[in-house]
Amino acid sequence: MKIVGVAACTSGIAHTYIAKEKLLSAAKELGHEIQVETQGTIGTEDALTEKNIKEADIVIIAADIKISGKERFHGKKIVEVPTHVVIKSPKALINKIQADLGL
């Protein structure tokens, strides 16, 4: 499965980057491709490309705040969860998404 994601928290520091690392690690361990953009106090890092988004099977938005650029994902299956869900159970989340998509 090809996954793209956005991580963002209220302060834009700790939970943003922890959520990103948890998603990256879990997806790779489960054999999926993943790219994760962060939106924090220092702006956007590792911005998703149009190609990343086009090729993605799923978009995971792990955010505690409104993210910018959500319109880029029009037509894509989007799963939105708070950052704490990704931090606590990233593999369970990805496995549930995979089962729901039938991939």
pLDDT for position 40: 87
pLDDT for position 21: 97
- pLDDT of residue 7 exceeding 90, the answer is yes
- Token duo for residue 24: 């990256």
Radius of gyration of the chain (CA): 12
Catalytic positions are: 9
Beta pairing partners, 78: 59
**Which H, E and C letters describe 42-56, residue by residue?**
CEEECCCCHHHHHHC
Q: Is the Cβ–Cβ distance between 67 and 39 less than 8 Å?
A: yes
- pLDDT of residue 12 exceeding 80, the answer is no
Between CA 32 and CA 24 the distance in angstroms is 9
| pLDDT tens per residue, range 83-100 | 999 999 999 999 999 999
| pLDDT tens per residue, range 52-83 | 999 999 999 999 999 999 999 999 999 999 99
CA atoms within 13 A on the CB side of 80: 10
- Please, what are the domains in the chain? 2-101 (3.40.50.2300)
When pLDDT is averaged across residues 17-32 and rounded to a whole number, the result is 97
The rounded mean pLDDT for the chain is: 95
